[in-house]
Amino acid sequence: MSKNIYLFATSKSKHARSIKSLDVRYLKPEIDFSKYDYLIVTSKQTVKALEQYNKEEFINIAALCVSDKTADSYRAIGGKILASGDGYGDNLIKNIRELPHVTKWLYLRAELIASSFVQIAKEEGYEIDEKILYISECSKEILEVRVEDDSTLIFTSPSSIECFLKNNTIHPNAKVIVIGTTTAAYLPKDIKYVISQNTSIESCIELAIEAK
């Protein structure tokens, strides 16, 4: 393990010092799943939150997933997959547009979201309901971490950057790797960064190892 690589994520890697960026608090709002044709699932946390419900109520409703990894998580609990995206929430709009406007979608989401695809879809006349299944808060770990100036920092979400910057600054000598363009937009304007080739932690780690 390289002590100079820091991974700010909800997942871990043996190649980095893994700093949990968020603590997740799950909610269980009342949902009548029978009203919907498809689910929209954009995180593994959504899948975990779904496990609070009677599986028979939703498991036969196919999900539009943000990425292959998220699709794998939904599939692992027995769910069906409508389609999986490229890791960018905003790009899911093209999948929604492939189906009639009368299709009834249920977007299962976090309290705070970075993507605007649902708002765009609604403005275009698509029927999408939303339910908040979890709330993410900055973890004590990321608020208290201190990193070396020349470290490689891997950010995997906008919230990982926002939480890190609450009590830290990004040193000019640091190497910064982000998982995608949405996350990159949350970096301070003067920070240089590299975007991973694929929207996956594995791809970010590969870049970090190459940069050593």
Strands 127-138 and 22-26: antiparallel
Q: What is the topology classification, in CATH, of domain 25-137? A: Rossmann fold (3.40.50)
DSSP 77: T
Distance of alpha carbon 108 from alpha carbon 131, whole angstroms? 5
Q: Where are the alpha helices (DSSP H) in the chain?
A: 44-50, 55-58, 68-76, 93-96, 117-123, 140-144, 158-167, 181-184, 201-211
What are the two backbone dihedrals, phi and then psi, of residue 134, each rounded to the nearest 5 degrees? -160, 155
Per-residue pLDDT of the chain (212 residues; tens, 9 = 90+): 445 999 999 888 999 999 999 899 999 999 999 999 999 999 999 999 999 999 999 999 999 999 999 999 999 999 999 999 988 788 899 999 999 999 999 999 999 887 889 999 999 999 999 999 999 899 999 999 999 999 999 999 899 999 999 999 999 999 999 998 889 999 999 999 999 988 889 999 999 998 76
Architecture of domain 5-21+139-211: 3-Layer(aba) Sandwich (3.40)
What is the spatial distance between Cα 14 and Cα 12, in angstroms, rounded to a whole number? 7
Q: Do domains 5-21+139-211 and 25-137 have the same CATH topology?
A: yes
Q: Domains of the chain: which residue ranges?
A: 5-21+139-211, 25-137
Helix (H, G, I), strand (E, B) or coil at 3: coil
pTM of the model: 0.74
